[in-house]
Structure 1
């Protein structure tokens, strides 16, 4: 007997992934366009304790890991998309790969913020906001009704 797939609260997860993606695509794109950081008013001093000489590599990572991936995840959570690589990297075979990647994104955001704070040796409100965002992504992804919605045997 197939379990009922409950769509409650999945909209919140889709929106969190989507808004994260939009912000990271804009921010990462700006750092790629202007690796000096001037476009987004980021001083060179932020790179002082990092291994980077410019914001280019952080911009690429931001764009891809916290921009493009969450956008793909948001779309995949709206409509189940078959993605062979995603399915192979899915640690939870009983869950749809997009659900698992939502967890991955939460971890990636938390790690990104922790590394950023370590390198710049300063915590600002925006760091706390994005750290909390990563934690909330984790919490919402792990809610029982969201997990049921994205079980591998549930169709959209």
Structure 2
């Protein structure tokens, strides 16, 4: 749950900052990195970051905390979304090792996926594992 909170807060911070300033100046991201992408500025990436990797992980965190049956699928979706986000980002703008944000969040996605797929977490959260078989 701590990693999900970290992702949610990071997504909210990055997303809000990019929506407020689509030029990337507030986050010290040069707009020039978007030259080979489909984006003219950081507004659309900021909205994606804000919603899919900000608000959604916070909602999933609530589900995990309350032990809601849908939270396992939500955590799985956040893990995949983060891995896809970093993969597409590297594909579109390249890999930037300094600061190591792409590496950090790519690893976070993989760690989250590993945790979500671990048998103990699956048993406690996955709906199909929590239901008694019908006779």
TM surpasses 0.5: yes
Tell me by how many angstroms 1:46 deviates: 1.3
* Deviation of the 1:122 alpha carbon: 2.4
Instruction: Indicate yes or no: 2:113 matched with 1:138.
Output: yes
Does residue 42 of structure 2 align to residue 55 of structure 1?
yes
Task: Report Cα offsets for 1:5-58 as digits up to 9, x if no partner.
Answer: xxxxxxxxx111111000110010000000111111110111111111110000
1:59 partner SS: helix
Q: Report the Cα offset of residue 80 of structure 1.
A: 3.8
Q: How large is the RMSD of aligned CA atoms in angstroms?
A: 1.3
* Residue in structure 2 matching 1:100, options 67, 70, 73: 73
Name segments (4+ residues, structure 1) moved above 2 Å. 151-154
Q: How does 1:34-73 map to 2 (within 5 A)?
A: 34-73=21-60
Give structure 1 stretches of 5+ with no counterpart: 1-13, 82-95
Normalised by the length of structure 2, the TM-score is 0.89
1 or 2 for the larger relative contact order (CA 8 Å, sep ≥6)?
A: 1
TM-score, scaled relative to structure 1: 0.77
Aligned length in residues: 127
Q: Of 67, 72, 86, which aligns to 1:113?
A: 86
CA contact (8 A) 2:70 2:126 kept: no
Shift of residue 151, structure 1, vs aligned partner: 3.7
